[in-house]
Amino acid sequence: MYKIAVLPGDGIGVEIVPEALKVLQAIALRFGYEFEFNEALIGGAAYDAVGHPLPAETLDTCRNSDAVLLGAIGGPKWDKLPVQLRPEVGALLPLRKELGLFANLRPSVLFPGLVHASTLKEEVIDGVDIMVIRELTGGLYFGEKKREQTSDGGQKATDILSYSTFEIERIVRFAYEVARKRGKKLCSVDKANVLESSRLWRETVNKLARDYPDVETSHMYVDNCSMQLIRNPRQFDVIVTENMFGDILTDEASMLTGSIGMLPSASIGGEVGLYEPSHGSAPDIAGQKKANPLATILSAAMMLRYSFDLEEEARLIEQAVRTVMEEGYRTPDLMEEGKTLLNTEEIGDLVAAKI
């Protein structure tokens, strides 16, 4: 029996999360598990209900669960709020910190039959399978912030970027373990020619590399990496990098395949992992049953793998999604001639039926 905190959130979040629960129920049925789903408010929905995007009860629900399944957060309705109350920042950042989610995993995979969805040429994108691992609880995001007056009547604003050996070691070790189970290539991305934090990062990677002789280690500057992802994305297996660079590079990498509606994510490190689709709350299509729930369903698969160590079950979900795609079923975001259009619930039903 596993306890799962369920946070649908805003926009299409409330439509896609139920589809992932359907699929988890199918797994429960087939393998004789029991999943207890405890729903809680987060984001704009929570702000509207109780005045804060991350209510204390929600945090408690997460802490008392074995894992968290999140839909999506935010929307134009809440964009004018003070930054600490805005759904994304006011909920996501404290949630990451409180749950100790120092490792963010975002795969960027080309699904068969979806080559056309990419803005990149088929021969460049074919076979891409990258895992970007982003440090998620350090760096500029959580450094001290300051605002001062300057003598010329203006202001000066400051952010601090710090990393400790401890913080770097734990994320890099984690990345090595992931690389070991994949293509055995780890590319560490930094700006060691300019930043002191990146120099410590690189030194630490070089020290740890000795413990993973079976994994090929390389270093790349972040500016070069942002080019190489476009020039030849197939050169990458696992990428590991610090928080701010990871924010930029995970988004860039997720755009390569053109099907962000298919890409899950996992944030782990503490006792409770958090799983959510890579895409946002898409307020423009919310409430229309047009949303693609597959990224959320694949996030549930990541939950089984990383939080519950249920590898076989995770693969079963991933295979079910692949089969549904191969059979030509599509939500509107990926629809093309000759395929069969389904709505959010219909495609969720289909995946669940394959389990």
- Strands 35-39 and 2-9, bridge-based pairing: parallel
Report what 341 binds from ligand IPM, a second copy, none; CB cut-off 5-8 Å by kind: none
Does 309 qualify as catalytic in the annotation? no
Residue 92 beta carbon to ligand IPM: minimum distance, rounded to whole angstroms: 5
Q: Pick the binder of ligand IPM from 193, 206, 288, 340 (CB under 6 A).
A: 193
Nearest to 256 by CA among 134, 111, 353, 76: 111
**Residue 247 annotated as catalytic:** yes
Helix (H) or strand (E) holding 240: strand 238-241
Is beta strand 273-277 parallel, antiparallel or unpaired with respect to 2-9?
A: unpaired
Element (H, E) at 197: helix 196-209
Single-letter amino acid code for the residue at 289:
K
Give, to the nearest 10 degrees, the angle between helix 311-326 and helix 13-31.
120
DSSP 282: -
Does position 92 interact with ligand IPM (CB under 6 A)? The reply is: yes
Is 211 among the residues known to form the active site?
no
Exactly one of 60, 126, 211, 251 is catalytic; name it: 251
Phi then psi for residue 247, to 5 deg, are -60, -45
- Residues 93-112, one symbol each (x = binds ligand IPM by CB under 6 A, - = not), give x-------------------
- Whether 60 is catalytic is no
Catalytic residue among 48, 66, 247, 349: 247
Residue 159 binds ligand IPM, judged by CB under 6 A: no
Residues 243-272 that bind ligand IPM (CB under 6 A): 247
Active site (annotated) includes residue 223: yes
Choosing from 10, 47, 190, 191, the catalytic residue is 191
227 binds ligand IPM, rule: CB under 6 A: no
Task: Judge whether 241 and 139 are in contact, CB under 8 Å.
Answer: no
Q: Among residues 57, 60, 211, 223, which is the contact residue for ligand IPM, using CB under 6 A?
A: 223
Residues paired with 265 in a beta bridge = 276
Catalytic residues: 141, 191, 223, 247, 251
